[in-house]
A and B are shown apart, each in its own frame.
Chain A
């Protein structure tokens, strides 16, 4: 060992936007450490492979449970998913509200738009 960080090249290439280069550099490292999983997760995050990145961060934390850097990265990924989940679940709830609003609207008015548009949509 010459004392150099074997992952510095991977992070450098990733910083420069060269994901394929970073992957090749990582493939050249034999060490099967938690840092390797973390570095792999960083490459996957750049590629927007979030599920794969999450799995790698879990491996890293299993191998080195006290590592703050790994924990923080996993938390950030979890926060992204929670933010996205709001879009999925929030709009579903809003749509249910809109459905009941349309139903109420039909009871109170019988404008052509309501009858031919909204009601037909929900009854279809």
Chain B
């Protein structure tokens, strides 16, 4: 589920890149504050993006200060200050990591050690944010049911994760949630699920793990899938991009939206093309 939300570097302003880095470090500290130091290992760009998006949509200003952290103990760097929203997002990150590892373990992967590593953080998140935990766990159960169902398709299989993202956005946005934000987050959740499934096509085909693309099309490998059903797969993502754009156009932002627009309108389509073409992941780190 993690690691696909990326920005499009050549079209990212330096101010936004600096903000993203500060928010990445801020989220790391927030995970430490809400779930303990061990849970910081689950930090992801995906959640950093969500943090940037939700701060903007809720009108929560990001305060940046020069601070130290254990990775940058000597030289201070700009880091977004910990706030209530980031702490809860840190807990959301920990809940997702823990469930992802549990899911992998159920699929026969050797993830027990890693799951236990996040166990304490998961328990802290559960205790501190019961409503968020209940929401995540309800959709995790629905996801499991959807993957066991006889009748499946990429649309159906992605629905629980997409609805989870929609409901999580409602949870964070409160009165600021709207039909447009629902559409935006549903599309985002659906994309996250489907891009992961498409990327894992060969692995799931070989190991027999659930994959909606394998179940629907059954091609021998991803390359063949794209050759035989590329138009169908393209249609699935293209309508999703339409939905993302539609949702985005109706959402109210309180601050500059260049960073989130870069990810949603450029980074996500580019990452989709990369996975569809079977190219290697692009390195995210840049020193400026």
B155 at the interface (CB under 8 A from A): yes
Q: Does A62 contact B (CB under 8 A)?
A: no
Q: What residues of B have a CB within 8 angstroms of the CB of A7 in the complex? A: none
A51 on the B face (CB < 8 A): yes
Would you list which residues of chain B between 234 and 279 have a CB under 8 Å from chain A?
A: 234-243, 245, 265-266, 269-270, 272-273
Contacts A88-B272, A99-B10: A117 and B238 contacting too (C-beta < 8 A)? no
Bound together, the chains give a CA A124 to CA B245 distance in angstroms of 30
B-to-A contact residues, CB < 8 Å: 8-11, 14, 153-156, 159, 162, 183, 186-187, 190, 232, 234-243, 245, 265-266, 269-270, 272-273, 282-283, 285-288
Q: Can you give 10 A-B contacts (C-beta < 8 A)?
A: A50-B235, A81-B242, A84-B238, A87-B265, A88-B272, A95-B10, A102-B10, A118-B9, A118-B286, A121-B9
Residue A15 lies at the interface, judged by CB distance under 8 Å to chain B: no
Find the residue from B153, B235, B236 having the highest chain A CB count within 10 A: B235
Within the assembled complex, what's the spacing in Å between the Cα atoms of A91 and B239?
16
Task: Determine the chain B residues whose CB is within 8 A of the CB of A49 once the complex forms.
Answer: 153, 155-156, 159
CA distance A118 to B241 in the complex (A): 27
CB-CB contacts below 8 Å: A75-124 with B: 77, 80-85, 87-89, 91-92, 94-95, 98-99, 101-102, 113, 116-118, 120-121, 124
Chain A contacts for B273, CB-based, 8 A? 88-89, 92
Binding site for B on A (CB under 8 A): 44, 47-52, 54, 77, 80-85, 87-89, 91-92, 94-95, 98-99, 101-102, 113, 116-118, 120-121, 124
What chain A residues lie within 8 Å of B8 (beta carbons)? 91, 95
7 pairs of A and B residues whose beta carbons are closest in the complex: A98-B10, A124-B283, A84-B238, A84-B241, A50-B239, A49-B155, A84-B242
The answer on a CB contact under 8 Å between B287 and A84 is: no
One of B159, B237, B245, B283 near A121 (C-beta < 8 A):
B283
A116: B residues at CB distance < 8 A: 287-288
Determine if B237 and A113 form an interchain contact, defined as CB atoms under 8 angstroms apart: no
**Nearest chain A CB to B235's CB is how many angstroms away?**
5
Give every chain B residue within 8 A of A48 (Cβ-Cβ).
Answer: 162, 183, 186-187, 190, 243
Q: Among the interface residues A50, A87, A120, which one has the most CB atoms of the partner chain B within 10 A?
A: A87
Contacts A81-B234, A116-B287 aside, 20 further interface pairs with beta carbons under 8 A come to: A47-B155, A48-B162, A48-B190, A49-B155, A50-B235, A50-B240, A51-B153, A51-B155, A51-B239, A80-B238, A84-B243, A92-B269, A92-B270, A95-B270, A113-B14, A118-B9, A118-B286, A121-B9, A121-B286, A124-B282
Q: Is the CB of A88 within 8 A of B241?
A: yes
Given the complex, which residues of B lie within 8 Å of A84, measured CB to CB?
237-243, 245
